[in-house]
Structure 1
Amino acid sequence: MAAAVKALNAKIRSNKYLDYFCSTHFWGPASNFGIPLAAVADMSKDPEIISGRMTLSLSLYSAVFMRYSLAVTPKNYLLFGCHFINCSSQIVQGYRFLNYWNFGGRELAEKGKEAAKAVELKGKEAASAVQEKAQQVVGK
C-alpha cells in the first residue's frame, strides 16, 4: 500500500499542473476566496449593517497578505488576486460605511424611505380612484 501511495505521489509531482493543483499554493487561496465573495455580495446590502472595525481589519489583513503573496518563493499570484479583490471590496465597504454614518447618507436614506412611502400612498389612492371609476362605468 505504501508503495502505491509513493508511486501516485511521484506521478502527481512529475506533472507541474497536478503538482500545483495539489499544493497549498492553490488550495490556500482557493479556500480563502470565500471572504472576498462575501464582501462582494455584501455590497448590495444596506450600509447600516456594515461593521467599521471589521472592514478596517479585513482591509489591513488583505493588504498584508497581498505583500506576503509576492514575498514568498515562488510568488503566489492566486493568493495576491484573492487578497486584492478582498482589499478592494473592503475599501468600497469602508467608503459606504463612512458615507452612511459620517457624511449624511443615513439622512438621505431616511428621506428616500419617506418619499417611497409617499409615492406608495399616492399610488394606492390613484388605484382606488381608478377602481371606483371602473365600478361606476360597469354599474351604468
Structure 2
Amino acid sequence: MAAFFKAVNAKIRSNPTVSYFCSTHFWGPVSNFGIPVAAVMDAQKSPELISGHMTLALCIYSATFMRYALAVTPQNYLLFACHFINEGSQLTQGYRYLAWHHWGGKEKAGALGAVDAVKKSAVAVGDKAKEAVSK
C-alpha cells in the first residue's frame, strides 16, 4: 500500500502544474482569501460596526505576510496578492472607522438624521393643514 501512495505522489510531483495545485503554496493563500473577501463585503456596512483594534491588527498581519510571501523561496505571489487585497481593504475600513468615530462622521449623520426628521414633520404638518383647509 505504501508503494502505491509513493507512486501516486511521484506521479503528482513529476508534473509542475499539478504539483503546485497540490501544495500548501497554493491551498494556503486560497483558504486565506476568505479574510479579504469578508473585508470587501463589510465595506458596504455601517462604519459604526467596525472594530478599530481588529482593523489595526489585520493591517499589521497583512503587511507582515505580504513581506513573508516575498521572503520565502520560491516567492509566493498568490499569498502576496491575498494579503495585498486584504491590506487595501483593511486600510479602507480603518479610514471609515476614523472618519466615523474621530473625524465627525457620527455627528454629521446625526445632524442629517435630525434634518430629515424635521423635513418629514414639516411635510406631515403641511398635509394636515391642507386637510383642514379643504374641509
Q: What are the Cα deviations for residues 16-41 of structure 1, in whole angstroms up to 9, with x where unaligned?
A: 11100010110111111111111111
Superposition deviation, residue 59 in structure 1:
0.2
The 3 A distance-change label for structure 1 pair 10 and 95 is same
Q: Which residue of 1 aligns with 2:55?
A: 55
Q: Matches of residues 56-95 of structure 1 in structure 2 within 5 Å? A: 56-95=56-95
3-state secondary structure, aligned to 1:75: coil
The 3 A distance-change label for structure 1 pair 21 and 106 is same
Residue type of the partner of 1:83? H
Q: Matches of residues 127-138 of structure 1 in structure 2 within 5 Å? A: none
Name segments (4+ residues, structure 1) moved above 4 Å. Answer: 118-129
Q: Structure 2: how far apart are the matches of 1:125 and 1:6?
A: 83
Q: Structure 2: how far apart are the matches of 1:15 and 1:121?
A: 72
Residue type of the partner of 2:98? L
3-state secondary structure, aligned to 1:73: coil
Gapped regions of structure 2 (runs ≥ 5): none
Superposition deviation, residue 115 in structure 1:
3.6
Residue type of the partner of 2:64? V
Q: Structure 2: how far apart are the matches of 1:53 and 1:15?
A: 45
Q: Matches of residues 2-21 of structure 1 in structure 2 within 5 Å? A: 2-21=2-21
Residue type of the partner of 1:95? Y
For the aligned residue pairs, the C-alpha RMSD in angstroms reads 2.3
- Give the number of aligned pairs: 132
Q: What are the Cα deviations for residues 45-82 of structure 1, in whole angstroms up to 9, with x where unaligned?
A: 01001111110110011001000000000000000000
The 3 A distance-change label for structure 1 pair 127 and 13 is farther
